[in-house]
Amino acid sequence: MAKSSSVAESQANSQAERPRLTPADWELAALELIAEKGVNSLAVEPLARRLGITKGSFYWHFPGRDQLLTEALERWERLDEQRLVQSLHSDACPEARLAEFVRRTSRQTLTHRIYLALCSCPDDPRVQPVLKRVTTRRLRFLTDAFASLGLDEVAAAARARLVYASYVGYLQLQIQGLAPDRGAEGFESYIEHVIDTLVRSRQQPVNS
Amino acid sequence: MAKSSSVAESQANSQAERPRLTPADWELAALELIAEKGVNSLAVEPLARRLGITKGSFYWHFPGRDQLLTEALERWERLDEQRLVQSLHSDACPEARLAEFVRRTSRQTLTHRIYLALCSCPDDPRVQPVLKRVTTRRLRFLTDAFASLGLDEVAAAARARLVYASYVGYLQLQIQGLAPDRGAEGFESYIEHVIDTLVRSRQQPVNS
DNA sequence: CTGCTTCCATACGCTTGAGTATGGGGTCTG
DNA sequence: CAGACCCCATACTCAAGCGTATGGAAGCAG
């Protein structure tokens, strides 16, 4: 019974063995719950049940639900920014970076579902600034990439907005089951169609 | 005090003069509330307060909250289908129909906000079938239009999905305040950019 | 005027979740 | 080993919303 395993650090337990949780555990579990049920469904007691614990633990780590939401969103924003920076340094060619951005749509499922959940309540005072910062950062990344391809500033901004809007809308269609998932039949051809239409055809005749 | 105005029909009162409500009044008010606060915020008591009445009235007209949501969504679906049929017969030229579809993005604000609210909870068993029917209907409309422009079936379906995804994503960006509203500076140029990119450039070279 | 139907008000019980208070079992330190 | 500290359980209060039960006012029929 007496597990005398000397556990010096208390940060390595995920959520299965020891019911000793850190604030990071609560934040990550909160993000998972947000991805599944939405921001409005982030409640303390259901989250505690999910972790196999009671809310007495929660109110020791956090002053309240608002603080949990705030710090979980900050954590998610940092992760998203790191991924974006990695994308910036991944491929030298801007066209390859854009194509990779499009292809990434169906990967990083958790991040995408969290982003959609945040889009669902843009009026929340804790969600709105994070959402705006993340979206602005991603739009700037796309705008810079298109500008590197030779488009002027206005056209690059418009094309970036168009690509990003198609990305967000594709996530919605995917959740509704009306767009093919990654690995499904027809997914690759659609991705190629998007890249052909939005990335490769960078100089279309505007004048009729 | 005694308003002896002989009101024979009880269907014409909106929600201001007489506190005598019909099921249609409840459904329309529910749709407005959904557009503002989302589906999850559709509660009986707040809606009754909004109408200046108590929930004793509601439970006379409806058996419960679920029935109100179901009938309100059916009503919205009928409205959306009527608008789509009107679009089908508006312009003879498919290209003009597509351009008009894109331009319509910033009009019909209530319908758009309701659609976004439904997208926010696609797991709800009462929302999911309505959402899927409406999206499928709109996608078929777009696919047929692109097929009329000469694209083969696969390309038309992919282009329709791309246009529709960009439409949904644009709504999201608009709510976040990161896309210009109708009438704002930069809106028209963006719309023209979208039409040029997605509608007019209908034959791009697929083979590299 | 009487009685019936329609529509709404009021009052109640039930459930869920927020936040607080307090105790108790481990774990580390002296 | 004794005390302090960290982490969690339990037991409350409070508020909001669902659904129900019942009464009451207004309108219409006879």
Residue B205 covered by a domain: no
Work out the mean pLDDT of chain A and round it to a whole number. Answer: 85
Task: Please tell me the predicted confidence (pLDDT) of residue B205.
Answer: 43
Residue B29 covered by a domain: yes
Task: Please tell me the predicted confidence (pLDDT) of residue B18.
Answer: 56
Task: Please tell me the predicted confidence (pLDDT) of residue A104.
Answer: 74
Residue A15 covered by a domain: no
pLDDT tens, position by position, B131-174: 999 999 999 999 999 999 999 999 999 999 999 999 999 999 99
Residue A107 has pLDDT above 90, yes or no: no
Task: Please tell me the predicted confidence (pLDDT) of residue B203.
Answer: 53
Residue A9 covered by a domain: no
pLDDT tens, position by position, B140-149: 999 999 999 9
CA B47 to chain centre: 20
pLDDT tens, position by position, B79-115: 999 988 887 777 668 788 877 777 776 677 899 999 9
The whole-angstrom distance between A64's CA and the closest CA on chain B is 22
Question: Taking the model in full, what pTM does it have?
Answer: 0.86
Residue A16 covered by a domain: no
Q: What is the mean pLDDT of residues A153-180?
A: 94
Say which residues have a Cβ less than 8 Å from residue A140's Cβ, sequence separation at least 6: none
Q: How confident is the model at residue A9 (pLDDT cuts 50, 70, 90)?
A: very low
Secondary structure string (H, E, C) spanning B36-60: HHCHHHCCHHHHHHHCCCCHHHHHH
Which bases on strand C have an atom closer than 7 Å to a protein beta carbon?
A: 7-11, 16-23, 28
With pLDDT > 70 as the criterion, what percentage of chain B qualifies? 85
Provide the domain count of chain A.
Answer: 1
Measured CA to C1', what is the nucleotide nearest B22? Answer: C7
Per CB-CB distance under 8 Å, the chain A contacts of B121 are: 38, 120
Q: How confident is the model at residue A2 (pLDDT cuts 50, 70, 90)?
A: very low
Residue A6 covered by a domain: no
Task: Please tell me the predicted confidence (pLDDT) of residue B98.
Answer: 79
Tell which B residues from 45 to 64 touch A, by Cβ distance under 8 Å: none
Say which residues have a Cβ less than 8 Å from residue B30's Cβ, sequence separation at least 6: B42, B47, B68, B69, B72
Across the interface, whether the CB atoms of A198 and B197 are under 8 A apart is answered yes
Residue B12 covered by a domain: no
Mutation target vs B (from A193, A199, A202, A208; most B CBs, 10 A cutoff):
A193
User: What's the CA–C1' distance between A44 and C11, in Å?
Assistant: 31
With pLDDT > 90 as the criterion, what percentage of chain A qualifies? 63
B128: containing domain: 23-200
**Nearest chain B residue to A118, by CA:** B120
Across the interface, whether the CB atoms of A168 and B167 are under 8 A apart is answered no
**Nearest chain A residue to B206, by CA:** A196
CATH number for the domain including B142? 1.10.357.10
Residue B10 covered by a domain: no
Q: Please state whether A177 falls in left (phi above 0), alpha (psi between -120 and 50) or beta.
A: left
Task: Please tell me the predicted confidence (pLDDT) of residue A205.
Answer: 42
Is residue A158 within 8 A of residue B179, CB to CB? The reply is no
Higher pLDDT pick, A16 / B136: B136
